[in-house]
Structure 1
């Protein structure tokens, strides 16, 4: 079975406290779907393309689990803490 990945590239974060509430709320939810954090912020260099203020990558046991987690009511409720003060590019991608 191919793994699934959430890749989130944060364009703008207007309220760090809202982002923290979101992260504190959704981390256990994501983990309950088998999600494992691979990248959550950290030191970086941009060589080509746009600059993002934060990058986050989660690995899931399958693409289907990644989609289920994102679409779950629990995750969507948690995203509500940050969605009005955070702009991001987020994709769910199947691994190989």
Structure 2
């Protein structure tokens, strides 16, 4: 079953830090099988909080998504932005109706 990283951003105090983070972690995430599906873009909020930026990565499975997030390489990349960025981040296993 595929899995998804879903990051909902509420505050970014330093766009340059976020840019460095994205440039650093994108190849790391891809090396774990991550496929970018959503990164910002137009959105409409109907219910709940409005997050100005949403990022979604698809992974081959839940274990691979966790392994990537827990990797030293990814954590070093996140260190670039975590002091100036507030986000809600989850890893969620997908499901199928078939």
Structure 1 residue 53: Cα displacement:
1.4
Q: Distance in 2 between matches of 1:89 and 1:61?
A: 22
Unaligned segments of structure 1, at least 5 residues: none
Normalization by structure 1: what TM-score? 0.98
Q: Distance in 2 between matches of 1:61 and 1:23?
A: 21
Please state if 1:27 is matched with 2:26: yes
Normalization by structure 2: what TM-score? 0.96
Please state if 1:14 is matched with 2:7: no
Unaligned segments of structure 2, at least 5 residues: none
Structure 1 runs of 4+ with >3 Å offset: none
Count how many residue pairs are aligned between Structure 1 and Structure 2. Answer: 95
